[in-house]
Chains A and B, each alone.
Chain A
Amino acid sequence: MAERPGTAVGAPGAAPQLCWFEEVRKDDVALVGGKCSSLGELIHAGVRVPPGFALTTHGYARFMHESGVSGEIPGMLAGLDHDDLERLETASRAIRDMIESRPFSWELEDAIAEYYRRLSVRCMVPAVPVAVRSSATAEDLPGASFAGQQDTYLWIRGVDDVLHHARRCISSLFTARAIAYRLRMGFPHEEVALSVGFQKMANSYTAGVMFTLHPANGDRSVIVIDSNFGFGESVVSGEVTPDHFVVNKVTLDILERTICSKEITYTVDSRTQKSVKIETPFERQTVQSLIDEEIVELARMGKAIERHYGRPMDIEWAVDKDLPAGGNIFILQARPETVWSGKRQAEPAAVPKAASAMDFILASLLAGKKVS
């Protein structure tokens, strides 16, 4: 293990290095990245979100500086070409090993530990299990989707593990793909900033994703929900074919219910307190993983989130099994939907363009209806 650097040497001034989610708003992307700022925004919008805190970009910069990493990186990347995968890979490995092996300063480590302790007190769970995830300042923004290039670590418990995974999140900024992407796009590596979020794990009975438009055709009048038992990982990763629900956004009617055979579940191992993948008991595989009342409640939340942001959203959610119905649905993440929002509204070739109703009727008559 490398020597701990001295504290506060050259540290940025009064900028906060840690903050609670509820202290930030959506304009704080530069401070806490897209994910954490949107969680803060959701809390302000009245959406139920599991509590947590963020290591800010200032905290990140301080770590990079104090640990000496930021000084060493330029040399390690000098002369690299974004097409040279082999060298990119080697450099990435070296940088990530370096980051993951350098400790935080005593002061920063103590600050993170204190926030973590206070979170545990708030949740009334000793050493509360958290999700540790990177919250990038350039990620998740409309038109610049490189989501998934940073990592998420679930069910992390205890200060040491929390600190370790915070460093892994930071190091994920330097995957070969991320380096290549920045080289290609001309982003300077020094200007990249990252925040790390620490959020109470929802002890999810069922979890999944929700889009406030139809991902297949861009229809703005529906909300589409995918769900499976256990943590949302199985849905996000595509490891199962989840249950699929389409809800009318205007009336909150459930328009479609597709119940799939869901063979695996992510749950928590009671002994190790880690997330584990198990085979779903056979008789449970084809059970609807989200009841109708929850579907409607979730859609109502989705609608509120969309209205708050004024644009279609892509949302991760969970139903917590420790809490009673009515207060147990949590929004874990919400970000602008990026596939359709750049395009114009669904516009099949068959929509005739016409000035008056009469012209439209004529054009439609001429087009007819496809039967087969």
Chain B
Amino acid sequence: MKFPNPHDIKDIPGTEGWQRMYPYQYQFVTDDPERRQYEEQTFWFYDGLHYPEPLYPFDTIWDEAWYLALSQYNNRIFQVPPVRGVDHRIINGYVYISPVPVKDPEEIGRRVPNFMERAGYYYKNWDALEEKWKKKMEATIKELEALQIPPLPELEDLSVVTEAVGESKGFHLLKAYDDIINLGIKCWQYHFEFLNLGYAAYVFFLDFVQKLFPSIPLQRVTQMISGIDVIMYQPDEELKKLARKAVELGIDQAVTFSQEWHEVEPALKELPQGREWLAALDKVRYPWFYISTGTGWYHHDRCWNDAMNVPLSGIQTYIDKIKKGVNIERPMEQVRAERDRITAEYRGLIEKEEDRKQFDELLGCAKTVFPYVENHLFYVEHWFHSVFWNKIREVAAILKIHGIIHDIEDVWYLRRDEIKQALWDVTTAWATGVRPRGTATWPKEIEWRKGVLQKFREWSPPPAIGTVPEVIQEPFTIVLWGVTNTSLADWAKVAEVKDPSSVREFKGFAGSPGVVEGKARVCRTVDDIRQLQEGEILVAPTTSPSWAPAFAKIKACVTDVGGIMSHAAIVCREYGMPAVVGTGHATKIIQTGMMIRVDGSTGAISIAR
């Protein structure tokens, strides 16, 4: 397997100087011989799982946040013996990462007792510590929600004088911005408090079972941990409750007459039962409608509260099902019964008593860590992030007033430290009574950066670069990105496809078993799921919990990005329908209306052209 040398990748013409859009330490460099050699001898893979599109300068904040948090927990807090942190680089807006191994066996040995003591403490006290975590996390979110972003007044309020405040709104604005950023970084500190250990427990359970049964599909192992209640399903459950309530109150027609929330809401306000229903809705909007319509990683992933047409569409789907007499409950009883049957049968095929004991231990451990591995997503990527993006929009509104940017959504083209600089520019100019310097420089730079990002989007990042190592020990690399010999070979092949319309067969990860043939519907965003017809096969870049209502209509799902623990795979297993995930580019190859065959047991997809 051969991947390009990182230093051989040339800038796309017209984007020269793009490096200034990202932190300087993210560049591959040639002027530092030691660093250059390290970069060449290291294996870097493209993190397409989190970044299906190039990074906006501001959105890079989460990459920096996890660069720090994941690595510190691995290396400085728990001391995972054979691996330090995960290193990061950016090429043309795409993030490349690499686990850093500890090479000296003696050093690994010295790290073992620390790891056993520290990680052991977390495993042993998991539930109690997780309870603490929730409190810390909720407090952090509350703090962010409470933050005031003050506009800069023409004249400070008299109370500043009479109460001897001694501080201006200019200072408060600068401080508020720092506070937002710091809360964001803190939230990501918590994000990884349990995650490394959670994934380790999970991945090595998978590993153990796969060694006992070399042919067992990974999805069958994950099925042994299915049917556990996690809060990621709660928003969807709330939609079902609202659908039932609308039918009970006899106002389902008023809820379904339009796909536009701005038409539905006033209509409901006219009706007494409508007002009752709206009150019920308001109750669940906090926090459940902070679920993102995307993964939450990008600023453009708006939450339901900001895109009410999305939950409305879900409620309408469920109302339709209820009226047709279809059961909309998640089949939890069946899922659990099937889980127990499968677990018992596999367990029964284990021949040695000691292996059965080990199986029980590891399964128990995996079940303990599973809820966190799922639930942290709601707290961090959905709830916190959704509030966070909107706080930054408040800051952007002030930048717009002062002429630094022309549109609120332009703010994402600035790095977070550039925003801080611009805020200094704005506040000092405001205090002084002059025009900020940035009003002449930033709009031009932002236009240029928009062009650069567009060129980045049209570029296909190679799946990996640098030198492939013999062994990877970092648990995330294995379980999340699925970096294995086979997947690397597949990536190399995927990258070679020049003409998507010539492809008739391709493969992804077998996400959920079963074989289905049907008509494809390509949905690029969650807004598109309204077009789904009953019994179609959903083809999407990736799915997230706000896509849940789609799964009530479809009979199979195909995604570009994601592993067997991705949202689409988990939900399809629960619904008992086939899924093929992480295909690389299904949304480019498949077009709406094509007849396709999805084999969720082997990961194969074929198209009848």
Evaluate contact between B351 and A344: CB separation under 8 angstroms.
yes
Given A214-B215, A357-B123, A361-B204, the answer on whether A371 and B112 have CB atoms closer than 8 Å is no
Interface string of A233-264 (1 = CB under 8 A from B): 00000000000001011110111110000000
The A-contacting residues of B in range 275-322, CB under 8 angstroms, are none
0/1 interface trace, chain B 469-507, chain A, CB 8 Å (1 if under): 111110100100001110010000000000000000000
Given contacts A354-B358, A371-B488, contact A366 B214 (CB under 8 A): no
How far is B342's CA from A354's CA once the two chains are assembled, in angstroms?
25
Q: Shortest Cβ distance from B392 into chain A, in angstroms?
A: 38
A369–B115 touching, CB < 8 Å: no
Cα(A370)–Cα(B469), bound, Å:
9
The answer to whether B342 and A251 have CB atoms under 8 Å apart is: yes
Of the listed stretches A90-98, A216-224, A272-280, chain B binds A216-224
| Chain A min CB distance to B337 (Å) | 13
B123 touches A255 (CB 8 A): no
A372 to B485, CA, bound (A): 6
Stretch at the interface among B16-24, B160-168, B205-213: B205-213
Asked if A368 contacts B471 (CB within 8 A), the reply is yes
Give CA–CA (A246, B510) in the complex, Å. 15
Return the CB mask of A87-131 against B: 1 if under 8 Å, else 0.
000000000000000000000000000000000000000000000
Interface pair A250/B346, CB less than 8 Å apart = yes
Would A221 and B123 count as touching, CB distance under 8 A?
no
Set of chain B residues within 8 Å of A356, measured between Cβ atoms? 361
User: Which residues between 207 and 243 of chain B lie within 8 Å of chain A, taking CB atoms?
Assistant: 207-208, 211-217, 220
Interface contact B216-A221, CB-CB below 8 Å? yes
B217 touches A369 (CB 8 A): no
Q: Bound complex: CA of A356 vs CA of B359, how far in Å? A: 10
Q: How far is the CA of A220 from the CA of B349 in the complex (A)?
A: 6
Does A345 lie at the interface of the complex (its beta carbon under 8 Å from any beta carbon of B)?
yes
CA distance A368 to B469 in the complex (A): 11
Q: How far is A353 from B345 in the complex, measured between Cα atoms in Å?
A: 23
Q: Are B342 and A371 in contact (CB under 8 A)?
A: no
Contact check: which of A249, A344, A348, A370 meets B470 at CB < 8 Å? Answer: A370
Q: How far apart are A265's CB and chain B's nearest CB, in angstroms?
A: 27
Per-residue contact bits, chain A 51-91, to B (CB 8 Å; 1 contact, 0 not): 00000000000000000000000000000000000000000
Q: Mark B511-536, 1 if CB is under 8 A from A, else 0.
A: 00111000000000000000000000
Q: Are A372 and B1 in contact (CB under 8 A)?
A: yes
In contact, A371 and B471 (Cβ under 8 angstroms): yes
Q: Which of B365, B485, B514 has a CB less than 8 Å from the CB of A371? A: B485
Complex: A351 Cα to B365 Cα, angstroms: 18
The answer to whether A246 touches B215, judged by C-beta atoms less than 8 angstroms apart, is: yes
A117 to chain B, nearest CB (A): 46
Q: Which of A255, A346, A350 is in CB contact (< 8 Å) with B602?
A: A255
Bound Cα distance A365, B488 (Å)? 21
Q: Does chain B have a CB within 8 A of A362?
A: yes
Known: A357-B362, A362-B112. A369 touches B215 (CB 8 A): no
Question: Is there an interface contact between A365 and B349, defined as CB atoms closer than 8 Å?
Answer: no
| Any A CB within 8 A of the CB of B468 | yes
The answer to whether B355 has its CB under 8 Å from any CB of chain A is: yes
Q: Known: A250-B346, A255-B601, A357-B361. Is A362-B115 also a contact (CB below 8 A)?
A: yes
Query: Which residues of the partner chain B approach A346 to less than 8 Å between Cβ atoms?
Result: 211-212, 214
Chain A residue numbers with a CB within 8 Å of B115 are 362
Q: Determine whether A14 belongs to the interface, using a CB cutoff of 8 Å to chain B.
A: no
Contact A360 B468 (CB under 8 A): no
Find chain A residues with CB under 8 A from B607 CB: none
Q: Which residues of chain B are near A254, meaning CB under 8 Å? A: 601-602
A219 and B204: CB pair below 8 A?
Answer: no
| Cross-chain contact B352 with A345 (CB below 8 angstroms) | yes
* Chain B residues, Cβ within 8 Å of A369: 471-473, 478, 484
A307-342 residues with Cβ-Cβ distance < 8 A to B are none
Contacts of B468 in A (CB 8 A): 371-372
B577 located at the interface, meaning its Cβ lies under 8 Å from any Cβ of chain A in the complex? no
Q: Does A364 contact B (CB under 8 A)?
A: yes
A207-235 interface with B by 8 A CB criterion: 214, 217, 219-222
Q: Which of B106-129 contact A (CB under 8 A)?
A: 108, 112, 115-116, 119-120, 123
Residues of chain A within 8 A of B478, CB atoms compared: 369
- Do B473 and A219 have beta carbons less than 8 Å apart? no
**Which chain A residues lie closer than 8 Å to B119 at the CB level?**
358, 361
Residues in A whose Cβ lies below 8 Å from that of B483: 371
Quick one: CB contact mask for A183-222 with B, threshold 8 Å, 1 for yes?
Answer: 0000000000000000000000000000000100101111
A370 touches B362 (CB 8 A): no
Nearest Cβ on chain B to A310's Cβ, whole angstroms? 11
Q: Which residues of A contact B220 (CB under 8 A)?
A: 248, 250-251
Is B211 a contact partner of A350 (Cβ separation < 8 A)?
A: yes
B180 at the A interface (CB under 8 A):
no
Taken residue by residue from 335 to 377, chain B's Cβ proximity to chain A (1 for < 8 Å, 0 otherwise) reads as: 0000000100110011110110010011011000000000000
Instruction: Report A234 CB to chain B, min CB distance, Å.
Output: 25
B556 to chain A, nearest CB (A): 15
Query: Whose C-beta in chain A lies nearest to the C-beta of B351?
Result: A345
- CA gap between A222 and B215 in the complex, in Å: 7
CA distance A122 to B308 in the complex (A): 73
Residue of A nearest to B342 (CB): A250
Within 8 Å CB of A246, what residues of B?
215
- In the bound assembly, the distance between CA atoms of A249 and B342 in angstroms comes to 10
A259 to chain B, nearest CB (A): 13
In the complex, whether B81 has a CB less than 8 A from a CB of chain A is yes
User: With A and B bound together, what is the CA distance between A353 and B81 in angstroms?
Assistant: 18
How far is the CB of A63 from the nearest CB of chain B, in Å? Answer: 43
| A222 and B210 alpha carbons, distance in the complex (Å) | 12
Give every chain A residue within 8 A of B108 (Cβ-Cβ): 366
Task: Report if B201 contacts A (CB, 8 A).
Answer: yes
30 pairs of residues in contact across A and B, judged by CB atoms under 8 Å: A217-B214, A219-B213, A221-B213, A222-B213, A251-B220, A251-B513, A253-B513, A253-B514, A257-B602, A292-B515, A345-B355, A350-B211, A354-B358, A357-B123, A357-B365, A358-B123, A360-B204, A360-B362, A361-B204, A364-B208, A365-B80, A365-B200, A366-B82, A366-B108, A369-B471, A369-B473, A370-B470, A371-B483, A372-B470, A372-B488
Which residues from chain A sit less than 8 Å from chain B, CB to CB?
A: 214, 217, 219-222, 246, 248-251, 253-257, 292, 344-346, 348, 350-351, 353-354, 356-358, 360-362, 364-366, 368-372
- Known contacts A366-B112, A369-B472, then 12 further A-B pairs from the complex at CB < 8 Å, ordered by chain A residue: A217-B214, A221-B213, A250-B346, A255-B215, A357-B365, A361-B201, A361-B365, A368-B82, A371-B470, A371-B472, A371-B485, A371-B488
